[in-house]
Amino acid sequence: MTESNYNEDSIKTLDWKEHIRLRPGMYIGKLGDGSSQDDGIYILIKETIDNCIDEYVMGYGKTIEITIKDKMVKVRDYGRGIPLGKVVDVVSKINTGAKYDSEAFKKSVGLNGVGTKAVNALSSFFKVQSVRDEKVKSAEFEGGVLTKDEAISESSQRRGTQVIFIPDEKIFGNYHFLMEYVEKMCWNYVYLNTGLTIYLNGNKFYSENGLHDLLNQNLSGNILYPIVHLKGYDIEVAFTHGTQYGEEYYSFVNGQHTTQGGTHQGAFREAVVKTIREFYKKEFEAVDVRASIVAAISVKVQEPVFESQTKTKLGSQVIAPDGMSIRAFVNDFVKEALDNYLHKNPETAELLLQKIVQSEKERKELSGIRKLARERAKKASLHNKKLRDCRIHFNSNDERALETTLFICEGDSASGSITKTRDVNTQAVFSLKGKPLNAYGLTKKIVYENEEFNLLQSALNIEDGMDDLRYNNIVLATDADVDGMHIRLLLITFFLQFFPDLVKNGHLYILQTPLFRVRNKKETIYCYNEQERVQAIQKLGPKPEITRFKGLGEISPDEFIHFIGKDIRLDPVIISKAVNLENLLQFYMGKNTPERQGFIIDNLKVEKDLVAEAT
């Protein structure tokens, strides 16, 4: 065996920008191409806006302007402006910033002095400009390397800071911004900071009623009583009960959307149950109290501790370094504020009681079926009939948790090809047998009685809510034909009917796989639509070999590696805020055949139309 030469020359020291570019996941989570709302390019935007929000929270600058054109992002605030002598240091020296001084930024989102430096290091172009005391200072960088350091000069501009950056394609590949994700980010910022105005490409985002507005905008169906909105010092909550299944939460810490919850969300769930039990003087089951709840909670914590750099889950146990526990803080507030509210609003209290009693009745009716379903799911998992699992899961603390993916396939051929090709650490495969039921209008009972639904629910581990979801990305991998599209629609209906928060929180995707393979002796091009096929033929010259993939099962494992690896193409399933979910499902999946037939006829495109568009 040849010995490796391990000596002083083997020890390397990376500077700040080299380390960030070499290990970007440590700073921004996963990279991605923009298909997912937790992809790195959105984290870069968030890190930049967070600094503007911190200024607003401290009482400076009521407006933030954001412009995204092509791949360039501009963020301008009207806060105090970075001290001019420190402009370069703040964006290029790790562990440099004012947020270490808790008097300057008492309840800031970013505390580790890394955020803006990560944006700088991971951008092919980065410019920072600060206006302060009628003077301006600018600096430009490429990949974290300073390329232009302008001298301080006089300026008549309003004070504040502007950051311009282009995420580096060497890091992120051929990425794209989905404006729906950026819009959602902007809405969350204004919900959490009433009085703040954000302009995104000229569109105004503003909220007067905070979390009350958030719930109003995000409700997907009917509610059973008016939204309960409670505000206190460093805490705000809003909730109601709807008719949907499951629990739905929007939780925030210092304005940061903690999509994976954390100690504050857990404390709120406990506090609501405890307060309601004491108010009604009945020991209700917690699942009955929280069934169909839609809630939002925001807390402000001094020096928050998150479980990752991307700040999606709060790990803090106390409000401040020497303060009370978060659990006690939330419980004390909810106990007093909610108890007072229910006493002052007896009609709401009665409607809430009716909902809990109804949930209790439904749970008891399902108890026997659920027990049998769990036993069947456990037996099936032992024999590994449906699920080829992966080693890492979303509900773990592994650094690759955001990458965890479950591919839902039709038939053994497609699932077999993906299984042989997948990354066994982060990618799992669930195989469907035939078309699933149309779940629209059905009760939760069908989930336990139907083998496919029961085993899928068990594989995802979402029977009792999203807290223990095992995969961050649920990907529908069906054929790109009529039958495959029908299966997609039925699965989307299943999730929207019984687990709408899974879709709303951005976990559901559709896998894009190529329709054509165009090749000659030198090159192979995979084409995802007719336009790409035409372009490939033009590129490769006369008479290339053209293969039309009729189904995923026709794609060999050797080829599948191109479609579920680093170049994976995913279409997110996004439900617009303007869409009423109940009406949407009723139209597409309900028994309204004449209306739906009319819609199809009015919007029908035949193959010749598609070819004409492509050429």
Average pLDDT, integer, range 104-127 = 75
- Quick check: 509 and 33 in contact, CB under 8 A? no
Are 320 and 349 contained in the same domain? yes
Q: Transcribe 381-432 into DSSP letters.
A: HHTTSSEE--S--TTS--TTGGG-EEEEEEHHHHHHHHHHHS-TTTEEEEEE
Count the Cβ atoms, other than its own, within 10 Å of residue 69. 9
Instruction: Write the CATH number for 86.
Output: 3.30.565.10
What does the pLDDT look like over 213-222, one tens digit per residue? 999 998 877 8
Look at residue 378 and tell me if it is in a domain: no
Instruction: Write the CATH number for 404.
Output: 3.40.50.670
Residue 399: CB partners within 8 Å, gap ≥ 6?
25, 26, 308
Look at residue 60 and tell me if it is in a domain: yes
- Residue 385 has a pLDDT of 65
Cβ burial 554-570 (10 Å sphere, 16+ → b, else e): ebeeebbbbbbeeebbb
Token output for 238: 């809003």
Look at residue 10 and tell me if it is in a domain: no
Q: Which range, of 298-302, 505-509, 578-582, averages the lowest pLDDT?
A: 578-582
Q: Which residue has the tokens 């139209």?
A: 587
Q: How confident is the model at residue 459 (pLDDT cuts 50, 70, 90)?
A: very high
Q: How confident is the model at residue 321 (pLDDT cuts 50, 70, 90)?
A: low
- Residue 111 has a pLDDT of 40
Token output for 492: 């989307």
Cβ burial 404-415 (10 Å sphere, 16+ → b, else e): bbbbbbbbeebb
Are 145 and 246 contained in the same domain? no
Residue 100 has pLDDT above 60, yes or no: no
Any bridge partners for residue 239, and if so which?
228, 295
Q: Which range, of 164-173, 374-383, 604-613, averages the lowest pLDDT?
A: 604-613
Q: How confident is the model at residue 607 (pLDDT cuts 50, 70, 90)?
A: very low
- Residue 404 has a pLDDT of 94
Which of 156, 190, 206 finishes a domain? 206
Q: How confident is the model at residue 601 (pLDDT cuts 50, 70, 90)?
A: low
Are 525 and 508 contained in the same domain? no
Between 540 and 591, whose confidence is greater? 540
Residue 377 has pLDDT above 90, yes or no: no
Structural domain count, the chain: 5
Are 351 and 391 contained in the same domain? no
Between 567 and 45, whose confidence is greater? 45
Are 344 and 424 contained in the same domain? no
What does the pLDDT look like over 507-530, one tens digit per residue? 999 998 888 999 998 999 999 889
Look at residue 348 and tell me if it is in a domain: yes
Between 413 and 232, whose confidence is greater? 232
- Residue 303 has a pLDDT of 77
- Residue 9 has a pLDDT of 63
Are 351 and 417 contained in the same domain? no
- Residue 58 has a pLDDT of 86
Q: Which range, of 5-9, 188-192, 226-230, 420-424, averages the lowest pLDDT?
A: 5-9
Instruction: Write the CATH number for 252.
Output: 3.30.230.10
Range of the domain at 147: 16-206
pTM: 0.84
Q: What is the mean pLDDT of the chain?
A: 86
Token output for 187: 């809405």
Collapsing DSSP to helix, strand or coil, 316 comes out as coil
Are 29 and 141 contained in the same domain? yes
Are 342 and 442 contained in the same domain? no
Share of the chain above pLDDT 90, in %: 53
Are 159 and 68 contained in the same domain? yes
Residue 196 to residue 209: CA distance in whole angstroms: 12
- Residue 106 has a pLDDT of 54
- Residue 1 has a pLDDT of 46
Residue 95 has pLDDT above 70, yes or no: no
Q: How confident is the model at residue 5 (pLDDT cuts 50, 70, 90)?
A: low
Which of 167, 190, 206 finishes a domain? 206
Residue 12 to residue 135: CA distance in whole angstroms: 41
Residue 253 to residue 208: CA distance in whole angstroms: 19
Look at residue 73 and tell me if it is in a domain: yes
Residue 73: CB partners within 8 Å, gap ≥ 6?
44, 45, 48, 66, 67, 164, 165, 166, 167
Are 331 and 388 contained in the same domain? no
Q: How confident is the model at residue 614 (pLDDT cuts 50, 70, 90)?
A: very low
Give the sign of the dihedral formed by CA 306, CA 308, CA 312, CA 313: negative
Q: Transcribe 446-467 into DSSP letters.
A: HHHHSHHHHHHHHHHT-TT-ST
Residue 40: phi, psi to the nearest 5? -60, -35
Q: How confident is the model at residue 381 (pLDDT cuts 50, 70, 90)?
A: low
Look at residue 175 and tell me if it is in a domain: yes
Residue 549 to residue 554: CA distance in whole angstroms: 6
Q: Which H/E stretch holds residue 144?
A: none
Are 188 and 158 contained in the same domain? yes
Average pLDDT, integer, range 123-131 = 97
- Quick check: 37 and 65 in contact, CB under 8 A? no
Residue 142 has pLDDT above 60, yes or no: yes
Look at residue 9 and tell me if it is in a domain: no
- Residue 608 has a pLDDT of 45
Look at residue 332 and tell me if it is in a domain: yes
Best CA proximity match to 167, nearest among 53, 43, 256: 43
- Residue 313 has a pLDDT of 77
Residue 38: CB partners within 8 Å, gap ≥ 6?
29, 30, 32, 259, 310, 312, 402, 472, 506
Are 226 and 284 contained in the same domain? yes
Between 14 and 472, whose confidence is greater? 472
Between 166 and 300, whose confidence is greater? 166
Q: Which residue has the tokens 């923009």?
A: 34
Residue 543: CB partners within 8 Å, gap ≥ 6?
none
Best CA proximity match to 61, nearest among 214, 189, 230, 202: 189
Q: Which range, of 162-176, 249-263, 331-345, averages the lowest pLDDT?
A: 249-263
What does the pLDDT look like over 153-199, one tens digit per residue? 999 999 999 999 999 999 999 899 999 999 999 999 999 999 999 99
